[in-house]
Structure 1
Amino acid sequence: MLKLHYNLEKISMGLVAAIIVAASIGGIVEIAPLFTIDETVELPDDLRPYTPLELAGREIYIREGCYACHSQMVRSLADELDRYGPYSLASESAYDHPMLWGSKRTGPDLARLGGKYSDDWHVAHLIDPRSVVPASIMPSYPWLTRPLDTDLLSDALATLARLGVPYDEDMIAAAEADALAQSRPDSDAVDGFLERYGERPEARVFDGDPSRLTEMDALVAYLQSLGTLTDAPYRLLAEGSQ
Protein backbone atom coordinates (compact mmCIF):
# COMPACT_ATOMS: atom_id res chain seq x y z
CA MET A 1 0.00 0.00 0.00
CA LEU A 2 2.80 2.39 0.88
CA LYS A 3 4.55 1.50 -2.37
CA LEU A 4 1.39 2.28 -4.33
CA HIS A 5 1.07 5.64 -2.58
CA TYR A 6 4.75 6.36 -3.22
CA ASN A 7 4.38 5.58 -6.94
CA LEU A 8 1.22 7.68 -7.11
CA GLU A 9 3.06 10.69 -5.68
CA LYS A 10 5.47 10.51 -8.61
CA ILE A 11 2.56 10.87 -11.06
CA SER A 12 1.21 14.36 -10.43
CA MET A 13 -1.94 14.02 -12.53
CA GLY A 14 -2.73 10.69 -10.87
CA LEU A 15 -2.39 12.29 -7.45
CA VAL A 16 -4.69 15.14 -8.50
CA ALA A 17 -7.26 12.64 -9.78
CA ALA A 18 -7.10 10.68 -6.52
CA ILE A 19 -7.63 13.87 -4.50
CA ILE A 20 -10.64 14.81 -6.64
CA VAL A 21 -12.18 11.35 -6.20
CA ALA A 22 -11.65 11.40 -2.42
CA ALA A 23 -13.04 14.94 -2.09
CA SER A 24 -16.04 14.05 -4.28
CA ILE A 25 -16.94 11.08 -2.11
CA GLY A 26 -16.77 13.24 1.01
CA GLY A 27 -18.85 15.94 -0.66
CA ILE A 28 -21.54 13.51 -1.77
CA VAL A 29 -21.81 12.05 1.73
CA GLU A 30 -22.36 15.56 3.15
CA ILE A 31 -24.62 16.93 0.41
CA ALA A 32 -26.85 13.97 -0.45
CA PRO A 33 -28.87 14.06 2.81
CA LEU A 34 -29.85 17.68 2.09
CA PHE A 35 -32.04 16.51 -0.81
CA THR A 36 -34.31 14.71 1.65
CA ILE A 37 -34.23 17.33 4.40
CA ASP A 38 -37.94 18.16 3.88
CA GLU A 39 -38.75 14.55 4.76
CA THR A 40 -36.40 14.25 7.73
CA VAL A 41 -36.90 17.61 9.49
CA GLU A 42 -40.40 18.18 10.84
CA LEU A 43 -41.24 21.81 11.55
CA PRO A 44 -42.69 22.54 15.01
CA ASP A 45 -46.29 23.76 14.91
CA ASP A 46 -45.38 26.87 16.89
CA LEU A 47 -42.33 27.90 14.85
CA ARG A 48 -42.66 31.54 13.84
CA PRO A 49 -40.58 33.55 11.34
CA TYR A 50 -38.54 36.59 12.34
CA THR A 51 -40.38 39.89 12.41
CA PRO A 52 -39.06 42.57 10.03
CA LEU A 53 -37.28 44.33 12.93
CA GLU A 54 -35.68 41.06 14.09
CA LEU A 55 -34.70 40.24 10.52
CA ALA A 56 -33.04 43.66 10.17
CA GLY A 57 -31.19 42.96 13.43
CA ARG A 58 -30.04 39.61 12.08
CA GLU A 59 -28.56 41.33 9.03
CA ILE A 60 -26.70 43.74 11.35
CA TYR A 61 -25.49 40.76 13.41
CA ILE A 62 -24.05 39.26 10.21
CA ARG A 63 -22.67 42.60 8.99
CA GLU A 64 -20.78 43.22 12.21
CA GLY A 65 -19.28 39.71 12.16
CA CYS A 66 -20.85 38.60 15.45
CA TYR A 67 -21.08 35.04 14.10
CA ALA A 68 -17.27 34.88 13.97
CA CYS A 69 -17.08 34.80 17.80
CA HIS A 70 -20.48 33.40 18.81
CA SER A 71 -22.06 30.11 17.81
CA GLN A 72 -25.80 29.50 17.85
CA MET A 73 -25.85 25.76 18.41
CA VAL A 74 -26.08 24.08 21.80
CA ARG A 75 -24.65 20.57 21.55
CA SER A 76 -26.10 17.60 23.41
CA LEU A 77 -23.35 17.51 26.03
CA ALA A 78 -24.12 17.62 29.74
CA ASP A 79 -22.02 20.71 30.46
CA GLU A 80 -23.63 22.62 27.57
CA LEU A 81 -27.12 21.66 28.66
CA ASP A 82 -26.31 22.89 32.17
CA ARG A 83 -24.91 26.19 30.90
CA TYR A 84 -27.10 27.05 27.92
CA GLY A 85 -30.28 24.98 28.12
CA PRO A 86 -31.88 22.51 25.68
CA TYR A 87 -29.73 21.35 22.79
CA SER A 88 -30.41 22.87 19.38
CA LEU A 89 -32.76 21.25 16.86
CA ALA A 90 -32.34 21.50 13.09
CA SER A 91 -35.99 22.54 12.80
CA GLU A 92 -35.32 25.70 14.84
CA SER A 93 -33.21 27.05 11.97
CA ALA A 94 -35.62 26.11 9.19
CA TYR A 95 -36.28 29.78 8.40
CA ASP A 96 -32.63 30.89 8.76
CA HIS A 97 -30.98 31.95 5.51
CA PRO A 98 -28.07 31.64 6.04
CA MET A 99 -27.98 29.51 9.17
CA LEU A 100 -25.60 30.77 11.85
CA TRP A 101 -24.86 27.63 13.85
CA GLY A 102 -21.10 28.13 13.80
CA SER A 103 -18.51 26.48 16.00
CA LYS A 104 -16.28 29.38 17.11
CA ARG A 105 -16.78 30.39 20.72
CA THR A 106 -14.56 33.30 21.56
CA GLY A 107 -17.74 34.47 23.29
CA PRO A 108 -20.56 32.30 24.67
CA ASP A 109 -23.13 30.49 22.55
CA LEU A 110 -26.22 32.63 21.89
CA ALA A 111 -28.79 30.02 20.85
CA ARG A 112 -30.79 30.50 24.08
CA LEU A 113 -30.02 34.17 24.67
CA GLY A 114 -33.57 35.52 24.29
CA GLY A 115 -34.98 36.78 27.59
CA LYS A 116 -31.83 36.02 29.55
CA TYR A 117 -30.91 39.70 29.95
CA SER A 118 -32.90 42.93 29.81
CA ASP A 119 -32.93 45.25 26.81
CA ASP A 120 -31.00 47.83 28.85
CA TRP A 121 -28.29 45.24 29.55
CA HIS A 122 -27.91 44.50 25.83
CA VAL A 123 -27.71 48.20 24.94
CA ALA A 124 -25.02 48.81 27.57
CA HIS A 125 -23.16 45.65 26.54
CA LEU A 126 -23.09 46.59 22.85
CA ILE A 127 -21.98 50.18 23.47
CA ASP A 128 -19.40 49.31 26.14
CA PRO A 129 -19.07 45.57 26.85
CA ARG A 130 -16.76 46.06 29.86
CA SER A 131 -19.36 48.19 31.64
CA VAL A 132 -21.37 45.03 32.34
CA VAL A 133 -18.77 42.27 31.83
CA PRO A 134 -15.41 43.62 33.09
CA ALA A 135 -13.40 40.72 31.64
CA SER A 136 -15.00 40.95 28.21
CA ILE A 137 -12.79 41.18 25.11
CA MET A 138 -15.72 42.03 22.84
CA PRO A 139 -15.32 45.23 20.77
CA SER A 140 -17.67 48.17 21.27
CA TYR A 141 -20.38 49.08 18.75
CA PRO A 142 -21.28 52.72 19.52
CA TRP A 143 -22.41 53.38 15.92
CA LEU A 144 -25.48 51.17 16.41
CA THR A 145 -27.33 54.24 17.70
CA ARG A 146 -27.65 55.49 14.11
CA PRO A 147 -31.06 55.32 12.32
CA LEU A 148 -32.11 51.96 10.89
CA ASP A 149 -32.43 51.77 7.10
CA THR A 150 -35.69 49.91 6.37
CA ASP A 151 -35.86 50.49 2.61
CA LEU A 152 -34.99 46.90 1.66
CA LEU A 153 -37.05 45.08 4.29
CA SER A 154 -39.96 44.32 1.95
CA ASP A 155 -37.56 42.92 -0.64
CA ALA A 156 -35.86 40.82 2.04
CA LEU A 157 -39.18 39.30 3.15
CA ALA A 158 -40.20 38.66 -0.45
CA THR A 159 -36.92 36.83 -1.11
CA LEU A 160 -37.28 34.70 2.00
CA ALA A 161 -40.88 33.92 1.08
CA ARG A 162 -39.62 32.39 -2.18
CA LEU A 163 -37.32 30.20 -0.08
CA GLY A 164 -40.22 28.86 1.95
CA VAL A 165 -40.42 31.25 4.90
CA PRO A 166 -44.14 31.87 5.58
CA TYR A 167 -44.35 35.58 4.85
CA ASP A 168 -47.60 36.47 3.09
CA GLU A 169 -48.30 39.45 0.84
CA ASP A 170 -49.59 41.59 3.70
CA MET A 171 -46.43 40.95 5.75
CA ILE A 172 -44.23 41.84 2.79
CA ALA A 173 -46.14 45.03 1.99
CA ALA A 174 -46.16 46.19 5.63
CA ALA A 175 -42.53 45.25 6.44
CA GLU A 176 -41.29 48.82 7.00
CA ALA A 177 -44.36 49.83 9.00
CA ASP A 178 -44.14 46.67 11.12
CA ALA A 179 -40.46 47.26 11.91
CA LEU A 180 -41.35 50.68 13.29
CA ALA A 181 -44.49 49.43 15.03
CA GLN A 182 -42.64 46.71 16.95
CA SER A 183 -40.45 49.36 18.55
CA ARG A 184 -43.41 51.68 19.18
CA PRO A 185 -45.90 49.76 21.37
CA ASP A 186 -48.03 52.87 21.90
CA SER A 187 -48.46 53.66 18.21
CA ASP A 188 -51.63 53.05 16.19
CA ALA A 189 -49.72 50.72 13.85
CA VAL A 190 -48.97 48.16 16.56
CA ASP A 191 -52.41 46.55 16.17
CA GLY A 192 -51.62 45.67 12.56
CA PHE A 193 -48.24 44.28 13.58
CA LEU A 194 -49.80 42.05 16.26
CA GLU A 195 -52.48 40.89 13.83
CA ARG A 196 -49.81 39.74 11.37
CA TYR A 197 -47.32 38.23 13.82
CA GLY A 198 -49.37 37.35 16.89
CA GLU A 199 -48.66 38.10 20.53
CA ARG A 200 -45.37 36.19 20.88
CA PRO A 201 -42.96 38.72 19.36
CA GLU A 202 -43.11 41.54 21.88
CA ALA A 203 -43.52 45.15 20.85
CA ARG A 204 -41.45 47.51 22.98
CA VAL A 205 -38.79 50.24 22.83
CA PHE A 206 -35.72 48.03 22.61
CA ASP A 207 -33.03 50.73 22.74
CA GLY A 208 -34.77 52.86 25.39
CA ASP A 209 -35.30 55.82 23.03
CA PRO A 210 -38.86 56.02 21.62
CA SER A 211 -38.09 59.05 19.48
CA ARG A 212 -36.44 57.13 16.63
CA LEU A 213 -35.86 53.68 15.14
CA THR A 214 -32.20 52.66 15.35
CA GLU A 215 -29.92 49.78 14.45
CA MET A 216 -29.71 49.14 18.18
CA ASP A 217 -33.48 48.55 18.27
CA ALA A 218 -33.11 45.97 15.51
CA LEU A 219 -30.10 44.14 16.93
CA VAL A 220 -31.51 43.93 20.46
CA ALA A 221 -34.84 42.69 19.05
CA TYR A 222 -32.97 39.96 17.18
CA LEU A 223 -30.88 38.95 20.18
CA GLN A 224 -34.01 38.76 22.32
CA SER A 225 -35.64 36.46 19.74
CA LEU A 226 -32.88 33.83 19.87
CA GLY A 227 -34.24 30.60 21.27
CA THR A 228 -37.82 31.92 21.43
CA LEU A 229 -39.11 31.13 17.93
CA THR A 230 -40.41 27.74 19.11
CA ASP A 231 -40.80 25.87 22.40
CA ALA A 232 -39.95 22.52 20.77
CA PRO A 233 -36.46 22.13 22.37
CA TYR A 234 -37.88 22.76 25.84
CA ARG A 235 -40.75 20.32 25.30
CA LEU A 236 -38.33 17.66 24.05
CA LEU A 237 -36.05 18.17 27.05
CA ALA A 238 -39.02 17.92 29.43
CA GLU A 239 -40.20 14.69 27.79
CA GLY A 240 -36.70 13.21 28.03
CA SER A 241 -36.43 13.96 31.75
CA GLN A 242 -39.68 12.16 32.60
Structure 2
Amino acid sequence: MAEFFHRKLERRAVGFVVAIIVAGSIGGLIEIVPLFTINQTVEAAPNMRVYTPLELAGRDIYVREGCYACHSQMIRTLQDDVERYGPYSLAVESQYDHPMLWGSKRTGPDLARIGGKYSDFWHVAHLTYPRAVVPESNMPAYRWLIRTPLALDDLDLDLEAQRNVGVPYTDDMIQNAAKDAIGQANPDSSYASGVVERYGEATTVSAFDGVATELTEMDALVAYLQVLGRLTDAARKEAVAKSEEVP
Protein backbone atom coordinates (compact mmCIF):
# COMPACT_ATOMS: atom_id res chain seq x y z
CA MET A 1 0.00 0.00 0.00
CA ALA A 2 2.75 2.44 0.96
CA GLU A 3 4.69 1.58 -2.19
CA PHE A 4 1.59 2.22 -4.31
CA PHE A 5 0.98 5.61 -2.63
CA HIS A 6 4.62 6.65 -3.05
CA ARG A 7 4.68 5.67 -6.72
CA LYS A 8 1.44 7.57 -7.32
CA LEU A 9 2.86 10.66 -5.57
CA GLU A 10 6.08 10.56 -7.64
CA ARG A 11 4.03 10.71 -10.83
CA ARG A 12 2.45 13.99 -9.72
CA ALA A 13 5.32 16.47 -9.73
CA VAL A 14 3.40 19.38 -8.21
CA GLY A 15 2.02 17.28 -5.39
CA PHE A 16 5.43 15.78 -4.73
CA VAL A 17 7.02 19.25 -4.51
CA VAL A 18 4.29 20.37 -2.09
CA ALA A 19 4.88 17.29 0.06
CA ILE A 20 8.61 18.03 0.18
CA ILE A 21 7.94 21.65 1.18
CA VAL A 22 5.55 20.56 3.94
CA ALA A 23 8.00 18.00 5.31
CA GLY A 24 10.88 20.49 5.17
CA SER A 25 8.78 23.17 6.84
CA ILE A 26 7.91 20.91 9.75
CA GLY A 27 11.56 20.07 10.30
CA GLY A 28 12.56 23.71 9.94
CA LEU A 29 9.97 24.87 12.48
CA ILE A 30 11.17 22.29 14.99
CA GLU A 31 14.73 23.57 14.58
CA ILE A 32 14.04 27.31 14.31
CA VAL A 33 11.20 28.07 16.73
CA PRO A 34 13.22 27.26 19.90
CA LEU A 35 15.81 29.87 18.84
CA PHE A 36 13.25 32.63 19.45
CA THR A 37 13.21 31.70 23.14
CA ILE A 38 16.95 31.23 23.49
CA ASN A 39 17.26 34.22 25.84
CA GLN A 40 14.88 32.48 28.24
CA THR A 41 16.34 28.98 27.92
CA VAL A 42 20.08 29.73 28.13
CA GLU A 43 21.21 30.53 31.65
CA ALA A 44 22.84 33.85 32.48
CA ALA A 45 26.46 33.76 33.63
CA PRO A 46 27.67 37.31 34.30
CA ASN A 47 30.96 36.03 35.73
CA MET A 48 31.76 33.92 32.64
CA ARG A 49 35.24 34.59 31.30
CA VAL A 50 36.76 33.85 27.92
CA TYR A 51 39.61 31.43 27.26
CA THR A 52 43.08 32.91 27.62
CA PRO A 53 45.33 32.66 24.54
CA LEU A 54 47.18 29.71 26.13
CA GLU A 55 43.95 27.88 26.96
CA LEU A 56 42.58 28.55 23.48
CA ALA A 57 45.79 27.18 21.95
CA GLY A 58 45.41 24.12 24.18
CA ARG A 59 41.87 23.66 22.94
CA ASP A 60 43.14 23.74 19.35
CA ILE A 61 45.67 21.04 20.23
CA TYR A 62 42.92 19.01 21.92
CA VAL A 63 40.91 19.17 18.68
CA ARG A 64 43.97 18.52 16.49
CA GLU A 65 44.84 15.34 18.38
CA GLY A 66 41.27 14.04 18.22
CA CYS A 67 40.72 13.96 21.98
CA TYR A 68 37.03 14.75 21.44
CA ALA A 69 36.60 11.39 19.69
CA CYS A 70 37.00 9.52 22.99
CA HIS A 71 36.02 12.14 25.59
CA SER A 72 32.71 13.96 25.78
CA GLN A 73 32.31 17.34 27.44
CA MET A 74 28.65 17.21 28.35
CA ILE A 75 27.41 15.78 31.62
CA ARG A 76 23.85 14.56 31.18
CA THR A 77 21.08 15.14 33.71
CA LEU A 78 21.08 11.43 34.56
CA GLN A 79 21.75 10.73 38.23
CA ASP A 80 24.63 8.36 37.42
CA ASP A 81 26.31 11.05 35.32
CA VAL A 82 25.93 13.69 38.02
CA GLU A 83 27.22 11.41 40.76
CA ARG A 84 30.27 10.44 38.72
CA TYR A 85 31.24 13.72 37.06
CA GLY A 86 29.54 16.56 38.95
CA PRO A 87 26.74 19.05 38.15
CA TYR A 88 25.18 18.51 34.74
CA SER A 89 26.34 20.77 31.93
CA LEU A 90 24.55 24.03 31.14
CA ALA A 91 24.22 25.55 27.67
CA VAL A 92 25.90 28.77 28.81
CA GLU A 93 29.12 26.92 29.60
CA SER A 94 29.67 26.31 25.89
CA GLN A 95 28.83 29.77 24.60
CA TYR A 96 32.47 30.53 23.79
CA ASP A 97 33.22 27.12 22.24
CA HIS A 98 33.56 27.26 18.46
CA PRO A 99 32.96 24.48 17.61
CA MET A 100 31.37 22.94 20.69
CA LEU A 101 32.92 19.68 21.91
CA TRP A 102 29.98 18.06 23.67
CA GLY A 103 30.61 14.70 22.00
CA SER A 104 28.68 11.49 22.50
CA LYS A 105 31.31 8.76 22.84
CA ARG A 106 33.05 7.92 26.08
CA THR A 107 35.93 5.61 25.51
CA GLY A 108 37.45 7.77 28.23
CA PRO A 109 35.60 9.73 30.95
CA ASP A 110 33.71 12.95 30.41
CA LEU A 111 35.99 15.97 30.86
CA ALA A 112 33.46 18.75 31.42
CA ARG A 113 34.51 19.13 35.08
CA ILE A 114 38.11 17.90 34.91
CA GLY A 115 39.55 21.35 35.67
CA GLY A 116 41.23 21.42 39.08
CA LYS A 117 40.46 17.76 39.82
CA TYR A 118 44.08 16.71 39.32
CA SER A 119 47.39 18.53 39.57
CA ASP A 120 49.36 19.84 36.61
CA PHE A 121 51.96 17.15 37.33
CA TRP A 122 49.27 14.44 37.10
CA HIS A 123 48.13 15.68 33.70
CA VAL A 124 51.69 15.82 32.36
CA ALA A 125 52.36 12.28 33.60
CA HIS A 126 49.05 11.07 32.17
CA LEU A 127 49.66 12.60 28.75
CA THR A 128 53.26 11.37 28.68
CA TYR A 129 52.46 7.79 29.69
CA PRO A 130 48.77 7.22 30.57
CA ARG A 131 49.24 3.82 32.21
CA ALA A 132 51.68 5.29 34.73
CA VAL A 133 48.73 6.88 36.53
CA VAL A 134 45.75 4.91 35.18
CA PRO A 135 46.90 1.28 34.75
CA GLU A 136 43.75 0.22 32.85
CA SER A 137 43.92 3.14 30.39
CA ASN A 138 43.97 2.46 26.66
CA MET A 139 44.74 6.09 25.80
CA PRO A 140 47.74 6.70 23.51
CA ALA A 141 50.72 8.68 24.80
CA TYR A 142 51.39 12.25 23.70
CA ARG A 143 55.05 12.50 24.68
CA TRP A 144 55.99 14.88 21.89
CA LEU A 145 53.86 17.68 23.32
CA ILE A 146 56.41 18.44 26.02
CA ARG A 147 59.17 18.67 23.39
CA THR A 148 57.19 20.79 20.92
CA PRO A 149 57.40 24.59 21.29
CA LEU A 150 54.05 26.32 21.14
CA ALA A 151 53.60 28.50 18.06
CA LEU A 152 52.94 32.09 19.14
CA ASP A 153 52.92 33.95 15.83
CA ASP A 154 49.23 33.49 15.08
CA LEU A 155 47.67 33.56 18.56
CA ASP A 156 46.39 37.08 17.97
CA LEU A 157 44.72 35.89 14.74
CA ASP A 158 43.07 33.04 16.66
CA LEU A 159 41.58 35.51 19.12
CA GLU A 160 40.47 37.81 16.33
CA ALA A 161 38.75 34.92 14.54
CA GLN A 162 36.96 34.03 17.77
CA ARG A 163 35.82 37.64 18.15
CA ASN A 164 34.36 37.50 14.64
CA VAL A 165 31.98 34.75 15.79
CA GLY A 166 30.93 36.52 18.97
CA VAL A 167 33.55 35.88 21.65
CA PRO A 168 34.12 39.24 23.42
CA TYR A 169 37.90 39.55 23.10
CA THR A 170 39.07 43.15 23.37
CA ASP A 171 41.69 44.83 21.22
CA ASP A 172 44.01 44.76 24.24
CA MET A 173 43.60 40.99 24.59
CA ILE A 174 44.30 40.43 20.90
CA GLN A 175 47.36 42.67 20.83
CA ASN A 176 48.88 40.96 23.89
CA ALA A 177 47.98 37.38 22.99
CA ALA A 178 51.56 36.07 22.73
CA LYS A 179 52.71 37.87 25.89
CA ASP A 180 49.71 36.57 27.85
CA ALA A 181 50.42 32.99 26.72
CA ILE A 182 54.01 33.30 27.93
CA GLY A 183 52.96 34.97 31.18
CA GLN A 184 50.34 32.38 32.10
CA ALA A 185 52.88 29.54 31.89
CA ASN A 186 55.64 31.47 33.67
CA PRO A 187 54.61 32.85 37.08
CA ASP A 188 57.92 34.69 37.44
CA SER A 189 57.62 36.40 34.07
CA SER A 190 56.98 40.13 33.79
CA TYR A 191 53.98 39.17 31.62
CA ALA A 192 52.21 37.17 34.36
CA SER A 193 50.42 40.13 35.90
CA GLY A 194 49.11 41.21 32.51
CA VAL A 195 47.23 37.98 31.85
CA VAL A 196 45.56 38.16 35.27
CA GLU A 197 44.65 41.79 34.69
CA ARG A 198 43.02 41.01 31.35
CA TYR A 199 41.34 37.70 32.17
CA GLY A 200 40.56 38.00 35.87
CA GLU A 201 41.86 36.94 39.27
CA ALA A 202 40.55 33.41 38.77
CA THR A 203 43.02 32.83 35.92
CA THR A 204 45.50 30.09 36.78
CA VAL A 205 49.13 31.10 36.26
CA SER A 206 51.43 28.09 36.50
CA ALA A 207 54.41 26.34 34.93
CA PHE A 208 51.97 23.76 33.64
CA ASP A 209 54.52 21.32 32.20
CA GLY A 210 56.91 21.87 35.11
CA VAL A 211 59.39 23.94 33.10
CA ALA A 212 58.98 27.73 33.16
CA THR A 213 61.85 28.54 30.83
CA GLU A 214 60.08 27.49 27.63
CA LEU A 215 56.51 27.39 26.37
CA THR A 216 55.39 24.05 24.96
CA GLU A 217 52.26 22.47 23.56
CA MET A 218 52.06 20.50 26.80
CA ASP A 219 51.70 23.80 28.68
CA ALA A 220 48.82 24.78 26.44
CA LEU A 221 46.94 21.47 26.62
CA VAL A 222 47.26 21.21 30.40
CA ALA A 223 46.14 24.83 30.78
CA TYR A 224 43.05 24.00 28.72
CA LEU A 225 42.25 20.85 30.68
CA GLN A 226 42.62 22.73 33.95
CA VAL A 227 40.05 25.34 32.97
CA LEU A 228 37.33 22.92 31.84
CA GLY A 229 34.27 23.52 34.00
CA ARG A 230 35.83 26.59 35.60
CA LEU A 231 35.01 29.41 33.18
CA THR A 232 31.88 30.00 35.23
CA ASP A 233 30.39 28.61 38.43
CA ALA A 234 26.82 28.82 37.08
CA ALA A 235 26.36 25.02 37.06
CA ARG A 236 27.48 24.61 40.66
CA LYS A 237 25.25 27.48 41.82
CA GLU A 238 22.27 25.92 40.05
CA ALA A 239 23.02 22.54 41.61
CA VAL A 240 23.12 24.12 45.07
CA ALA A 241 19.87 26.00 44.42
CA LYS A 242 18.10 22.82 43.31
CA SER A 243 19.39 20.89 46.34
CA GLU A 244 17.98 23.58 48.64
CA GLU A 245 14.58 23.26 46.98
CA VAL A 246 14.36 19.59 47.92
CA PRO A 247 12.39 19.25 51.19
TM-score, normalised relative to structure 2: 0.90
User: What's the secondary structure of 1:171's corresponding residue?
Assistant: helix
Report the CA distance between 1:13 and its aligned residue.
4.4
1:92-150: CA deviation from partner (whole Å, max 9, x where unpaired): 11111111111111111000000111111111111111111111111111121200112
CA distance in 2, matches of 1:6, 1:177: 66
Partner residue of 1:128? 129
CA distance in 2, matches of 1:38, 1:79: 29
Partner residue of 1:115? 116
Report the CA distance between 1:23 and its aligned residue.
5.6
Partner residue of 1:66? 67
Report the CA distance between 1:211 and its aligned residue.
1.8
1:171-210 matches, cutoff 5 A: 171-210=173-212
CA distance in 2, matches of 1:42, 1:78: 21
1:35-84: CA deviation from partner (whole Å, max 9, x where unpaired): 55345324311101000000000000011111111110111111111111
Letter in 1 for 2:144: W
Q: 2:184 touches 2:192 (CA, 8 Å); kept in 1? A: yes
CA distance in 2, matches of 1:74, 1:161: 27
1:160-175 matches, cutoff 5 A: 160-175=162-177
User: What's the secondary structure of 2:207's corresponding residue?
Assistant: coil
Gaps of 5+ in 1: none
1:192-224: CA deviation from partner (whole Å, max 9, x where unpaired): 111111111111100011121000000000000
Percent identity for Structure 1 against Structure 2 = 60
TM-score, normalised relative to structure 1: 0.91
Letter in 2 for 1:231: D
Gaps of 5+ in 2: none
Report the CA distance between 1:7 and its aligned residue.
1.1
CA distance in 2, matches of 1:126, 1:20: 51
Partner residue of 1:157? 159
Partner residue of 1:223? 225
CA distance in 2, matches of 1:239, 1:33: 25
CA distance in 2, matches of 1:20, 1:217: 52
Partner residue of 1:137? 138
Decide which moves more: 40-49 or 219-228.
Answer: 40-49
Q: 2:115 touches 2:227 (CA, 8 Å); kept in 1? A: yes
Q: Does 1:98 align with 2:95?
A: no
Distance 1:61 1:20, change over 3 A: farther
Report the CA distance between 1:10 and its aligned residue.
3.6
Q: 1:43 touches 1:94 (CA, 8 Å); kept in 2? A: no
1:39-78 matches, cutoff 5 A: 40-78=41-79
User: What's the secondary structure of 2:196's corresponding residue?
Assistant: helix
Letter in 1 for 2:44: L
Q: 1:92 touches 1:229 (CA, 8 Å); kept in 2? A: yes
